[in-house]
Structure 1
Amino acid sequence: MLVEDPRIDLLPDGPNGPRRFKIKTADSMERRNRVNSLLKDRYGWRGYQQVSLPTDPTVSRFTLTAVENDVVIGTITVAFDNPGKLGADGAFATEVDQLRAQGRRIAEFTKLAIDPAVGTKRVLATLFHVAYIVAHRIRGHDMLIMEVNPRHVRYYERMLGCQILAGERINKSVNAPAVLLGAEFAYIMAQIGEFGGRPESAARERSLYPFALSLREEAAVISRMQAKQRMQDRRLTDTGHPSEALPTDFGTTDLIGI
């Protein structure tokens, strides 16, 4: 379930020029505790039941943080449909199973939170962009799904190009209504290619994509992640557990801002 507060379209654009924030993985208990504090604050403010990051390492999740001046100002978690179940299976099992039956490789974006005091469209777009890189460019998933509050469906349709996959139900994990949205990663790739890194185009392109990374910045992130992956692969060559080399919540990658 994603929390949108304030509304995406009401977030300030953010300053042009070099980013003052960094995108990092939740690779330490200290940072994970800060993420949990932000999740508790934003979900609690909306009246939702509390959520937190799991404490067990797993290859089926990857949590990103936006950090400015050593303060976590945003977070999002990518959940992969292999080997475990997704959060959307709780309220939308039939629809998610239909996607699986079609052979779709699904990734779910969840546990989104932005600090409203300092959050901007640029912070949110960069978090989404790096989450897309992890899910699609690195792991090869072809479709995004996410649960959002019914009141915010239009924002995600306009801001990310999502489509409704299933109507309103109750997400029991946060005890709130939710709608299941989906987007093709191929569509997201095309939008990033056309608008990414061009905030000046936001006046005519009313989406998050102008605030995303440029293709050059995206290539640098992918290169950095692949280099980390090769290092992990070499360390795990003799362990007999190659799955441990996949990106996890406990990776040690500074992705942007170094």
Structure 2
Amino acid sequence: MQQDLFTPALHRSPRLPGAGLAVRLAQGLPERERASVLLQQRYRERGYAVDAQQAEADLVVLHAEDEFGETTGTLGVRFDGEAGLKADQVFPAEMAEIRARGLRVCEFTQLALLEGQEASESLLAGLFHSAYLQAYRLRGVQCVVIEVNPRHAAYYRRMLGFELCGSLRVCPRVGAPAVLMRLDLAHAERQIAALAGRGAQRPAGSSRSLYPSFFGPEEEARQLQRLRLAGFMSPAVGHA
């Protein structure tokens, strides 16, 4: 997944259960710079090509921080527009097929976690749930795509329900192999309604998933209310 950023004002969101972390928008220059530094550091450690982030009107950048204000994770949500999405550059036919079905689409991108945080389900769940709220609940986006290294595809399928929808390519932006995956956000909504907030108390026999670590119903409602009060309600975007 790739890089860049956006800047509308927002709120401080709920603390992530048991982690002493909070997810918020990278709304000021210091926060954007911290997210950019983390992204560059983690990508270069993996041998990916990466440049400093550039401002982009259609990209929302989320970052998670600990109780000391240190950025521990970042995730971007890029919304569709006249210029399309980054995934169009590598998977044009697959993206055209999604739009031909009349679906509004966005992409999740720029995922990076501080070293030692890779196994934190609460951190990942907080970032992905916040991204879901931005895309589905506030913007009316129906489908999200991600470009991922093929060795990570099984994780996103198992933990969030993404499906493969594009064959192996080389992504020139990072100089690495990539596959395209998509997630129906109505599926995510059903999983959140059934499992979110349960954490370790997930139903017996249920499959491994990030959804039990998502915000519970009350926390989700509070976060949505903060977003609406902050005036972040934007018209649905995408190709009709």
State the TM-score, normalizing by the size of structure 1.
Answer: 0.80
Matches within 5 A, 1:1-258: 1=1, 17=17, 19-56=19-56, 58=57, 60-68=58-66, 69-119=68-118, 120-202=120-202, 204-229=206-231
SS in 1 for 2:165: strand
SS in 2 for 1:22: strand
Instruction: Name the CA shift for 1:205/1:116 in 2 (closer, same or farther; >3 Å).
Output: farther
Per-residue deviation, residues 201-250 of structure 1 (Å, max 9, x unmatched): 35744111111111111111111000111xx78xxxxxxxxxxx679xxx
SS in 1 for 2:230: helix
> Displacement, 1:117?
2.1
Say how many residue pairs are matched.
221
Superposition CA RMSD, Å: 2.2
Question: Residue 2 of structure 2 contacts residue 174 of structure 2 at CA under 8 Å; is this kept in 1?
Answer: no
Moved beyond 4 Å, runs of 4+ = 16-19
> Displacement, 1:17?
4.7
> Displacement, 1:52?
3.7
SS in 2 for 1:223: helix
| Alpha-carbon distance in 1 for matches of 2:79, 2:85 | 7
Instruction: Name the CA shift for 1:156/1:17 in 2 (closer, same or farther; >3 Å).
Output: closer
Unaligned runs of 5+ in 2: 4-15
83-92 vs 124-133, which moves further: 83-92
> Displacement, 1:116?
2.6
> Displacement, 1:37?
0.8
Which has the larger share of helix? 1
State the TM-score, normalizing by the size of structure 2.
Answer: 0.86
Identical aligned pairs, as a percentage?
35
Q: Which structure has more RCO (C-alpha within 8 Å, separation ≥ 6)? A: 1
What residue number does 1:253 align with?
none
What residue number does 1:12 align with?
none
